Amino acid sequence: MSEHFDEEVVTFVRMEGSWGATKAVKRTMKITAFINSETERGCFEIYDKESGGQEYYGEGGIWLTDGVISDYDGVGMIDLRILAWLDDLGHVDVNEECFFREKLSKYYSRQDKSEETKQ
């Protein structure tokens, strides 16, 4: 079965490398991802809408093993919104010691604190 994720989010982004990092700027990011649970393969693309991806762009692959994410490629860290979507689909290992589960736990904790601040 093939699933699709498509979202736009206003967030702060920056580029990082061995040379350091740029100053964070506010951009509208288009995030798209696909996953096929039968082939256990997927892909994603992220870019800023303001420049059509000329300034900020990333893409990569996603691999599942036995139905859960086991690898990704193309960026230093897969966007946590994509990881949360994969979790909603049951494609993230429930083991708390799993690398992806640890990242999600921190992400969900930040989301909860953000919601509390709004109230």
Supply the pTM of this predicted model: 0.85
Please tell me the predicted confidence (pLDDT) of residue 113: 58
How do the residues of the chain divide into helix, strand and coil, expressed in percent and rounded to 5? Answer: 25, 45, 35
How far apart CA 42 and CA 2 sit, in angstroms, is: 9
pLDDT digits (tens, 9 = 90+) for 52-83: 999 999 999 999 999 999 999 998 889 999 99
pLDDT digits (tens, 9 = 90+) for 32-49: 999 999 999 999 999 999
Phi then psi for 7, rounded to 5 degrees? -150, 150
The larger pLDDT score, comparing residue 114 to residue 110, is at 110
Q: How many domains does the chain have?
A: 1
Domain that holds residue 76: 2-118
Task: Please answer whether residues 56 and 29 qualify as being in contact, where contact means their C-beta atoms are separated by less than 8 angstroms.
Answer: yes
Structure-derived torsion over alpha carbons of residues 79, 95, 39, 83, reported in degrees to the nearest 10 = -10
Helix, coil or strand: residue 102:
helix
Q: How far is CA 82 from CA 20, 22, 89, 116, in A?
A: 25, 24, 11, 23
For residue 114, is pLDDT > 90? Answer: no
The proportion of the chain whose per-residue pLDDT surpasses 70, expressed as a percent, equals 93
